[in-house]
Structure 1
Amino acid sequence: MAGEKWSEPSVTDNDRLPWLETAGDDYEEGPPLSRIVGMVLIGLVALAAVLGGIYWFKHRTPAAGNGDLIAAQEGDYKVKPDDPGGMKVAGEGDAAVAASGGAAGGNGSIAVTSLPEAPIVGKKAGPDAKGGPGASTATASVSGSGGKLTAPAPGRPVTIANGGGGGALVQLGSFPSEGQANTAWGQASKRFGYLAGLGKSIEKAEVNGRTFYRLKVNAGSAGAAQELCGKLKVAGEACIVTS
């Protein structure tokens, strides 16, 4: 035993004792520079806001008035006027003023029977005898009346049994006799000049054993018949459009 050499036992990582080892120094890192700069900027903005508020409060425009309550006037609040009728305005009572105020009545009627007179249609003059090289010269024949003018005999109005000519017809009325129908036509054609130039017709009709004579005029087209009947209705006359 005395002759053997003593060797130090080998120490492995598993045999290390961590609590016996020297602990390293831990150094805490400070805040980053960007955070410091941000906090400084926020502080500057807050300081500027406080200074701006103080400046505005000292230099603001004072409100007008002192805030006192307005005292009511002495006496009655409403006073009865000396003239209960009120002030007279120039033009009061006129139709225009009354209409603007919503009043009804007045002379505002329209005479529906007063239709304008029918215009006079002139005849076109014939071609001039001197207008062209091939124009013929017209000669008038003089009758042997000794220089006196003779008027032609008046002709009787033609009664069309079926309203010939086609087109739309306007019935002006129904009468118990043909004579009454002709009388009504004479009165209507004198009152309304635009009827005189239209073709008149008197149709005989049997209704429930009674004979009637229908007075009609030929207006030409359906549109013209509607227009003609409308004018007659405005004038207070009764009419119907037939075919």
Structure 2
Amino acid sequence: MTSAADSGLRDEDRLPWLETVDDSYDDRPSPARVVLLVLIGLAVIAAAILGIYWYQDRPAGGGGSGELIEAQEGDYKVKPDQPGGMEVAGEGDSVFKTSDGSTAADARVDLSAVPETPVAPQVKASPKAAPTQSAAARVSEVIPPPARKGAPARITAANAGQTGSAGTAIVQLGSFPSPASANGAWKQLSGRFGYLANLGQTVEAAEVNGRTVHRLRVNAGSAAQARDICQRLKVAGEACFVVS
């Protein structure tokens, strides 16, 4: 800063408002800063006190001498008293054999539990019978579930007035409206069940309720064989009966 002598001005010629003024600084600390420092100090003291309490109250370490554990004398493995293991209740039953894949389990179907002959429905006597239909000519029609998609519907007709010797070897597989449908049903049945393919089938026409039906029948060879074949077909979901 230049002095008055250096600038060539006399004291009376100097203008006081043009002189530089030194900045005045307040060296006193601000109240906010003081409060912040006090809070930091209190936090440090509190943390120190909590650390001391935690160190004094913490559980002591485990005891022990730290010696090496010696191995026991003798064999490490001992043969059990029951080499086969503990016996479990139910072990050896068929459910365990089946789950293990054993072939000892008997999974055959009991064909004798299937009724041998269908139960004929009771026909009530009508006071006024129609001239074209009689009680002896009525039939019981049962539509079995189709063997496969697209198979023709098959109607099993049991003529109440049919007579013959009991225990024949003829098995009726169904009643159809035409010979073509009967032969088509035989082709499907013989292809599905191999034990029917070697039997001789016949398609017989009959009058039922004023209309012609065609009965698909096979000769089983004996009465016992006929019952067995019909039972096996019923288990598979087909309808049949032994002609009596």
TM beyond 0.5: no
The TM-score with structure 2 as length reference comes to 0.44
Structure of larger gyration radius: 1
The TM-score with structure 1 as length reference comes to 0.44
